[in-house]
């Protein structure tokens, strides 16, 4: 009997190479399902063209984040950041995804100190010692990319500086846990294990998300430990990892503006976010 080479056409008549054939894929998926993985809805797997579109969008998001990083300093307002992001996005032919998203009134999220996320730019003046997350989501040629960074204004307390640094490490650890044909839950397991050692907590009420064709898609990405393997990570899946790390408890509250999420105990919170794509042999950070 002839052994099929991975590059031969599949015997099933699909016209695809054996390696890529849907029957082969289905057999493989069945095996993973038996092992306890949740099989993703296959429509969340992006085509190479879509991934390239998300990369192009990510390039603009990165430029915006860099621009903010160069200008942010003590004495400016979060409204100023909003205006910079808005103008730069429009000038570059993009659309700021937050503006009017489910009623969000501005083009960017700015979250200072005890604000976990979704802070609304306003007349608040940044001052020495503040830590602030600037979260940029851009639509470019129809594709979404989403990323955020922390900034330390002047010199912050040792505690704040450490939290910002460790939150970045948490994002790195989460990404390192991503393996093609591994489980989504590996991400939260790795992040929580690291945070427990530091006596920090991981926000549970908000998570990362699929992104690319819409702002928020499947899967929902928990940054805390969960039982089971979770969703099977398949090449072509695009999602964010964006752990929110609190100095105190993980509990949070939403303010009356219906957006701003703060730590219940008033402790500091920090977050970094990347959009990633699962590849055949690992992971690519899109932005």
User: Cα 145 vs. chain centroid, distance in angstroms?
Assistant: 9
Binding of ligand MF3 by 217 (CB under 6 A): no
Q: Does 207 bind ligand MF3 (CB under 6 A)?
A: no
d(CA 259, CA 263): 13
Site for ligand MF3 contains 137 (CB under 6 A): yes
Using rule CB under 5 A, residue 135 touches Co ion: yes
CB of 272 to ligand MF3, least distance (A): 11
* The binder of ligand MF3 chosen from 37, 104, 140, 143 (CB under 6 A): 104
Which one of 24, 146, 192, 247 is in contact with ligand MF3 (CB under 6 A)? 146
Among 68, 85, 109, 132, binds ligand MF3 (CB under 6 A): 109
Angle of the 48-71 helix axis to the 78-91 helix axis, nearest 10 = 140
Counting contacts by CB under 6 A, is residue 181 touching ligand MF3?
A: no
| Smallest distance, ligand MF3 to C-beta of residue 239, A | 11
30 binds, among Co ion, ligand MF3, none (CB under 5 to 8 A by kind): none
When binding is defined by CB under 6 A, the residue of 40, 58, 98, 230 that contacts ligand MF3 is 98
Q: Which is nearer to ligand MF3, 21 or 170 (CB)?
A: 170
Q: How many residues bind Co ion (CB under 5 A)?
A: 5
Residues of the shown chain interacting with Co ion in the complex, contacts defined by CB under 5 A? 135, 146, 148, 240, 273
- Contact footprint for ligand MF3 (CB under 6 A): 98, 101-102, 104, 109, 118, 135, 137, 146, 209, 240, 242, 259, 273
């Amino acid at each position: 009997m002839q052994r099929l080479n991975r590059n031969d056409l599949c015997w099933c008549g699909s016209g695809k190479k054996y390696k890529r054939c849907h029957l082969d894929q289905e057999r493989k998926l069945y095996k993973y399902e038996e092992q306890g993985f949740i099989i993703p809805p296959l429509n969340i797997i992006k085509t190479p063209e879509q991934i390239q579109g998300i990369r192009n969008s990510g390039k603009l998001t990165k430029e915006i984040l860099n621009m903010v990083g160069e200008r942010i300093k003590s004495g400016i307002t979060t409204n100023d950041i909003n205006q910079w992001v808005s103008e730069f996005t429009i000038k570059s032919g993009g659309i700021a995804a937050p503006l009017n998203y489910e009623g969000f009134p501005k083009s960017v999220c700015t979250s200072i100190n005890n604000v976990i996320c979704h802070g609304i730019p306003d007349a608040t003046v940044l001052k020495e010692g503040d830590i602030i997350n600037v979260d940029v989501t851009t639509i470019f040629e129809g594709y979404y990319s989403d990323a955020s960074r922390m900034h330390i204004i002047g010199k912050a307390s040792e505690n704040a500086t450490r939290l910002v640094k460790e939150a970045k490490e948490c994002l790195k650890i989460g990404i390192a846990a991503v393996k093609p044909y591994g489980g989504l839950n590996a991400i939260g397991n790795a992040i929580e294990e690291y945070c427990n050692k530091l006596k920090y907590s991981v926000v549970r009420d908000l998570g990362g998300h699929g992104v690319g064709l819409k702002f928020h898609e499947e899967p929902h990405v928990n940054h805390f430990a969960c039982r089971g393997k979770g969703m099977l990570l398949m090449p072509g899946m695009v999602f964010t990892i964006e752990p929110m790390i609190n100095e105190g408890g993980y509990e949070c509250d939403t303010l009356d503006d219906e957006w701003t999420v703060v730590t219940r105990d008033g402790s500091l919170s920090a977050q970094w976010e990347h959009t990633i794509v699962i590849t055949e042999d690992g992971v690519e950070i899109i932005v």
